């Protein structure tokens, strides 16, 4: 048995069949996950292209609005004044998780507090204040588009890494793990079939040997019986003389006849004595 192969028995076969079923189920689920991620990836790619176009237009409009603001303020640099009045940021971002087929994707959401924009609203009221306010609104739109683009780009990168990892798992299951389990199951099945054939052949040989042994014993018994018949003398084999017939027993006399016979014998005893005396007298 190869060192890398397990023992060939039914319990091991059932274990590897369960492993194959689990691997097949996992492969199916991972494939569905990869397909879902790829679908969301394509949608994100389309949104990123559209958002990049929006960001480009917003930044171009912002640059044009900034040039107008500079012209409206007679060429004065308003950056220092804006930085001086900006105490707290009116636009903040928070990170929220989004779930796509079990994958957590970061999403940036923008929060705008209008109350914090009050110091900037009074900027250069007497000298191009409306143009500066329009420039601020244009850049605010550009910032919102940039935040959306950042969120989409982060999700795009996260999905790309997750799709690569999921694809590696799917390929490992499909081309490495499942074929290995199938080869082990095939090996165990072959070994069990070979063991069954060996057991059948062994039982067949044992039965054949037992039959041959019984046949030899039967032949030996017949041979011994034939030798015993050949050694026995012929006279001993002659037929025995028939036995003489036995006379039938006489029927028993009646009880009264037996008693009369006894009395007769008693009466005859004196007559014998008298005959003896007469013979003595004759001499």
Report DSSP letters for 159-204, one per residue: HHHHHHHHHHHHHHIIIIIHHHHHHHHHHHHHHHHHHHHHHHHHHH
Model confidence pLDDT, tens digit, residues 192-213:
899 889 999 999 999 999 999 9
Written as six digits, the tokens of 277 are 């005396």
Please list the pLDDT of the chain residue by residue as tens digits (283 residues). Answer: 455 778 888 888 899 999 999 999 999 999 999 998 898 888 888 899 999 999 888 888 888 887 777 777 766 667 766 777 777 777 888 888 888 888 888 888 888 777 777 666 666 665 666 777 788 888 888 888 898 999 999 999 999 999 999 999 999 999 999 999 999 999 999 998 998 899 999 999 999 999 999 999 998 888 888 888 887 754 444 455 555 555 555 455 555 544 444 554 444 444 444 444 444 444 3
Q: How far is CA 107 from CA 147, 150, 154, 272, in A?
A: 10, 9, 8, 163
3-class SS string, 36-57: HHHHHHHHHHHHHHHHHHHHHH
Task: Specify the CATH number of the domain 26-183.
Answer: 1.10.287.3240
Written as six digits, the tokens of 52 are 């990049």
Q: Is the pTM of this model over 0.75?
A: no
Q: Do 132 and 95 meet the contact criterion of CB atoms below 8 Å apart?
A: no
CA-closest candidate to residue 133, choices 247, 46, 125: 125
In the 8-state DSSP scheme, what is residue 237?
Answer: G
Q: Do 162 and 98 meet the contact criterion of CB atoms below 8 Å apart?
A: no
Q: Please give the Cα distance from 40 to 99 (Å, whole number).
A: 11
Model confidence pLDDT, tens digit, residues 82-106:
777 777 777 888 888 888 888 888 8
């Amino acid at each position: 048995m190869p060192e890398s192969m397990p023992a060939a028995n039914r319990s091991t076969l059932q274990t590897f069949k369960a492993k194959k079923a689990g691997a097949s189920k996992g492969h199916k689920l991972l494939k569905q996950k990869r397909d879902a991620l790829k679908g969301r990836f394509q949608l994100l790619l389309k949104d990123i292209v559209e958002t990049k176009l929006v960001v480009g237009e917003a930044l171009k409009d912002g640059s044009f609005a900034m040039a107008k603001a500079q012209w409206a303020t007679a060429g004065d640099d308003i950056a220092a004044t804006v930085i001086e009045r900006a105490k707290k940021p009116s636009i903040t971002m928070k990170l929220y998780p989004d779930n796509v087929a079990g994958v957590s994707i970061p999403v940036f959401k923008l929060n705008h507090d209008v109350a914090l924009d009050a110091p900037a609203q009074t900027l250069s009221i007497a000298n191009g204040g409306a143009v500066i306010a329009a420039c601020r609104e244009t850049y605010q739109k550009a910032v919102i588009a940039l935040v959306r683009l950042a969120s989409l780009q982060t999700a795009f990168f996260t999905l790309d890494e997750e799709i690569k990892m999921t694809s590696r798992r799917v390929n490992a299951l499909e081309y490495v793990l499942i074929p290995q389990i199938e080869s082990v199951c095939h090996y165990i099945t072959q070994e069990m079939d070979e063991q069954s054939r060996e057991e059948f052949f062994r039982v067949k040989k044992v039965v054949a040997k037992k039959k041959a042994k019984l046949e030899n014993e039967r032949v030996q018994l017949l041979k011994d019986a034939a030798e015993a018949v050949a050694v026995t003398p012929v006279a001993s084999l002659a037929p025995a003389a028939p036995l003489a017939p036995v006379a039938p027993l006489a029927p028993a006399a009646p009880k009264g006849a037996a008693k009369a016979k006894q009395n007769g014998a008693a009466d005859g005893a004196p007559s014998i004595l008298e005959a003896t005396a007469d013979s003595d007298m004759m001499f």
